[in-house]
Structure 1
Amino acid sequence: MKQESHTAFQGPMLWITALVLTAGNFVAILDSTIANVSVAHIAGGLGASNSQGTWVITSYAVAEAITVPLTGWLSKRFGATRVFCYALVSFGIGSALCGLAHSLSFLIFARVLQGFAGGPLMPLSLTLLLRIFPKDKATVANGLWSTTTLVAPVIGPILGGWLCDEYSWPWIFYINVPIAIICGSFLFVIFHNHREDLQKHPIDKVGLLLLIIWVSALQIMMDEGKDKDWFASNYIITLAIIAAIGFAAFMIWEITQKKDPIVDLTVFRHRGFSASVLTLTLGFGAFFGINVLTPLWLQTNMGYTATWAGLATVWTGVSALVISPLVTSLSSRIDGRKLVFGGVLWMGGVTFIRSFLNTDVDYWTIAMPLLVMGIGMPFFMIPISAQAMMSVKPEEMESAAGLMNFLRTISGAFATSLVNTVWENQTNYKHEQLSVLLDSTGNIFRELVASGFDTEMARGIINQLTTSQSVMLATNDIMLYSSVAFAIAAFAIWLGPSTKKL
């Protein structure tokens, strides 16, 4: 059905509409990080462990990842403006349900709904910004969108920490409700008379079902494996089999699906795209994993409040924002592989330095490496998208962008589960080792008793000291492993050709 396309907006209405669109992008990205410093509060409020609390992060990321590949089909079938408006309002409703949750299971259910709605917001906000701005101001639209994309993750931890400390954890979700519903309703009115080219393409129902099955099974297996003793549990074995078979069936189906596949895997034939996606998946997974771990470690082991944990981690985003304009300028003149390689290797080097911390570190000893690490972020995140998109044909860009965003999102979810599992296992392992070494002669115990502590208190003090050191050592191990992942990601970018040769 052929319909009139969008026309460019003008005057104040252009900027009002642009701000409303970026607000939709802002809340979707904000919710990927706002819960990072709130896990301990949420888990405590709902009677769950910290490891179970990370489901609040992974459930949103997985749900978001599943709907990202559907964005193109939804836009063609129902129109980009209509999908964006409905998704934004639905995001607000999902946020309200999250705040009203009184159990972890209901909160995870609400986060899944919120993630389903949030998936299309980020790609469609850019699409619609480019539509409403005149072609000669396309760079302004891109700049506005990029700034929002960088600002939201910076504000997330600070805002989440402050709301948890000053009010309560449901408010990290409630703040989305008025923004989403008001902005969504405004856009319904503004875009009411604007028409789009709609195409009734069939949806790849089998591919979508297989995608949901293998991603969900794998994520549940990774989240629950540590609590079920991994493959000693028939439940975990069953999930692993479902994930493996589902993934194999999905790959076979998508490769052989010639018309309207849910994920166009043929774009992987482009060496530049494959190398870029491999770098992005490893690098973003490592970054997201330690970004979740850091505030959790600060709150559970270092005595930080959620607010101060957010203030410590925010420095990564601050330096990234300052450096971004320089990187944008360099991207047009320098081989993208050099920028990505330098940025990712820089992040890996700083992470390696962070693997030597101890329990006596002060605020700035924690914050300064994060500030320095943020310098490398724009060199990684800004050129990598161009490196990937310039490697594919123009008609493949939509599919390539959807696949890249899917893998980026899902790598963050998987990394969160993996880091949390390894951190917990390493903590227990280090605790067993230190328990033998710390007071093998019993001198510390006898000195505590002689100082006036009773037997139970003396044992408690020794156990607390052992636990504190065990968590610190386990955290350092995660930083070391993550630095290796960054190094591999940095060198992987050289598998692709120079963008100047494409």
Structure 2
Amino acid sequence: MKRIILIITVISAAIMELIDTSIVNVALNYMSGNLGATLEDISWVVTAYGIANVIIIPMTSFLVNNLGRRNYYIGSIILFTFCSFMCGNSTNLWELVMFRFLQGIGGGALLSVSAMVVYECFPKEKQNIASALFGIGVFIGPTIGPTLGGFITDNFSWRWIFYINIPLGILAAILCFKLLPESPTRQKVKKIDWLGIILLIIGIGSLQTVLERGETEDWFATRYIIFLTVAAVLSLVLFVHRELTIPHPVVKLSVLKHPSLSISAILTFITGIGMFTSIYLTPVLAQRFLGFNPAQAGLLLLPGSIIAVFALIITGKALQKGVPPALVVLLGFCCFIYFNWSMAQVNLDVSFATISINLIFRALGMALLTVPLASLAVSSLKPEDMPQGTAINNMMRQLGGSFGISIINTYIARRVALHRTDLISNLTPDNRSVMDRLQAYTSVFQSKGSGLPEAQQKAIALMEKIVVKQSFFLSYIDAYMVIGLAFIFVLPLLLFFLKRNKNKKIVIVSADH
């Protein structure tokens, strides 16, 4: 019974951390007005959390070994909970941003260490079930975050987005204090790689800031984006060189010499792109172009979420019975490719049901990828290297999301200009259908009391709005196609695992053993 309570506790903590990556997105307008900040500045509330997460996740193994898993995990829960309270009590933007960053530092352990604990609670022959259970949290968190955030903001206050973590955090800390054992593979490092830590913080922090703020700041037209880009490149190059050459690195990058981990990391990176960009694009598409309200946009994801929970469990059992993980990954990639291809075919008359069905394939893709990719990543690592391999794999998922959203935002901005030019080129006096529509709009405005010149100006302005809307819509559709192509592009990497499976059965092992 204690084992079951511990599993539920750490999975709930992971879900809480992942929900907080997206729960604030729908409340940014409210925060902006309440704190007297611009919409551009308030986006730092999202950026700060993401930067902290990506910095701390690759350091998980180092922190667990030096602080002890029990101390590090419980301390992280307390930090996350305290900062949630302080975020809710913030009286200005930069106070909120600071505590969101610290909240993200605490949240990093709730993802990586939770996975280790869940794996440890199951014997080796049932590791796929452990992966499936933890995968439920990985999938559910980012999916329900925007819906939950919208409900809380509409019915209470944006501050309750943070306050809701407090009772959950306190309960999790108490239960872990009573039930969580120390890691049996802890290897304390006597000499701490402080320079490596500093280079990692500067490199990843700068990179994340550039990715998340680049499009808003018009990329290299802004001086601080140029500075941070240079800082990111130099710091990460020095960091990689140092971690590969010193005896006790803060991040053991040498584990990437194992092809199973390096290839899985690339596949996980692409999965992160698909996972986070789909959650970003689809609600915006539904609300901005199809007229759905926030509640309807949230309900679009519900059928797929329910089906994915069962699919995750089935996937774990299938892998346990000997189904090759690479085949499951291939099927998951096919589901993602189909989802993006289907979304690239929709028009402004698409129904709620059609999008919801498309999202079921997206959910199935996530369910099929979560378990086997985690297993493949650590399949050839030594027991002492598995926590580091798991942390690197988790970091690649988060980086994939950051890269994906940044690239997609830039791509959409470029495509909008192109589509607008194409559409306007057809709006000529020779185009009979265009002139008929312009005349119809003019007549409508005249019937409402406008004179002919004013009615014609309003009709032209309306046509311009329609062109802009259609340009954005077509750009979003193009974005789905690009994401689908990214999945197709990396498919050949699966040949490594398929060939390997013919010669040697991949044994699924714990991420902490």
Same fold (TM over 0.5): yes
Structure 1 pair 45–252 and aligned structure 2 pair: CA distance change class (3 A): same
Q: Pick the aligned partner of 2:200 from 205, 211, 223.
A: 211
Residue 321 in 1 paired to residue 309 in 2? Answer: yes
Distance (Å, rounded) in 1 between the aligned partners of 2:33 and 2:484: 31
Inter-CA distance 258–239: structure 2 relative to 1 (3 Å threshold):
same
Residue equivalent to 1:180: 169
| Cα distance in structure 2, aligned partners of 1:33 and 1:470 | 27
CA contact (8 A) 1:18 1:129 kept: yes
How far the C-alpha of 1:140 sits from its partner, in A, is 7.2
- Given that 1:14 and 1:133 are in contact with CA atoms closer than 8 Å, whether structure 2 keeps it comes out as no
Q: Secondary structure at the match of 2:214?
A: helix
| 1:89-488 to 2 correspondences below 5 Å | 89-101=78-90, 104-129=93-118, 144-188=133-177, 190=178, 199-259=188-248, 261-332=249-320, 333-438=322-427, 443=435, 444-451=437-444, 452=446, 453=450, 454-455=454-455, 457-488=458-489
* Compared CA separation, residues 460 and 52, structure 1 to 2 (3 A): farther
| 8 Å CA contact 1:36, 1:295 repeated in 2 | no
Residues 22 and 146 in structure 2, CA contact (< 8 A), matched pair in contact too:
yes
Q: Secondary structure at the match of 1:32?
A: coil
Shift of residue 412, structure 1, vs aligned partner:
1.5
State the alpha-carbon separation in 2 of the partners of residues 213 and 131 from structure 1: 33
Aligned counterpart, 1:498: 500
CA contact (8 A) 2:274 2:483 kept: yes
Q: SS at 2:412's partner residue?
A: helix
Alignment correspondent of 2:510: none
For the Cα contact (< 8 Å) 1:58–1:416, is it kept in 2?
no
Aligned residue identity for 1:498: R
Q: Aligned partners of 1:382 and 1:419: how far apart in 2? A: 27
Tell me which amino acid in the other structure corresponds to 1:461.
L
Where 1:357 maps in the other structure, the secondary structure is coil
1:475 positional shift: 0.6
Spell out the pairing of 1:59-70 with structure 2 (5 A cutoff): 59-70=48-59
When the two structures are superposed, what TM-score results if normalisation uses the length of structure 1? 0.87
Q: Decide whether the 8 Å contact of 1:295 with 1:310 is kept in 2.
A: yes
Instruction: Write the distance in 2 (CA, Å) between the matches of 1:269 and 1:198.
Output: 21
SS of match in other structure, 1:226:
coil
Distance 1:360 1:74, change over 3 A: same
Helix, strand or coil for the counterpart of 2:191? coil
How far apart in 1 are the matches of 2:389 and 2:103? 24
* Structure 1 runs not aligned, ≥5 long: 1-10
In 1, the alpha carbon distance for the partners of 2:223 and 2:237 equals: 21
Q: Larger deviation: 270-279 or 39-48?
A: 39-48
CA contact (8 A) 2:132 2:316 kept: no
The separation in 2 between residues aligned to 1:111 and 1:132, in whole angstroms, is 31
State the 1:501 CA deviation.
4.8
Deviates more, 1:102-111 or 1:290-299: 102-111
CA distance in 2: counterparts of 1:325 and 1:183, whole angstroms: 24
Indicate if the aligned counterparts of 1:69 and 1:403 stay in contact, CA closer than 8 A.
Answer: yes
Amino acid at match of 1:243: A
Q: Give, in whole Å, the separation in 2 of the partners of 1:299 and 1:94.
A: 32
1: distance between equivalents of 2:275 and 2:139?
A: 14
Amino acid at match of 1:487: I
Report the CA distance between 1:67 and its aligned residue: 0.9
TM-score, normalized by length of structure 2?
A: 0.85
Structure 1 letter corresponding to 2:56:
T
Shift of 1:135: 8.9
Cα deviation for residue 341 of structure 1 reads 1.4
**Amino acid in the other structure paired with 1:258:** P
State how far apart, in whole Å, the 1-side matches of 2:159 and 2:287 are. 19
CA contact (8 A) 1:318 1:371 kept: no
Residue ranges of structure 2 left out of the alignment (5+ in a row): 507-513
Q: 1:489 and 1:135 mapped to 2: Cα distance?
A: 30
Q: Distance in 2 between matches of 1:341 and 1:133?
A: 26
Note the aligned Cα RMSD (angstroms). Answer: 3.1
Asked whether the 8 Å contact 1:295–1:313 carries over to 2, the reply is no
- What is the CA-CA distance between 1:72 and the residue it aligns to? 2.0
Change (3 A) 1:279 1:365: same
**CA 1:316 to 1:331, structure 2 compared with 1: closer, same or farther past 3 Å?**
same
Cα distance in structure 1, aligned partners of 2:101 and 2:232: 19
* 1:31–1:40 distance in 2 versus 1, CA, 3 Å: same
Residues 84 and 163 in structure 2, CA contact (< 8 A), matched pair in contact too: yes
* Aligned-pair identity (%): 27
CA distance in 2, matches of 1:60, 1:386: 27
Matched, 1:83 2:72: yes
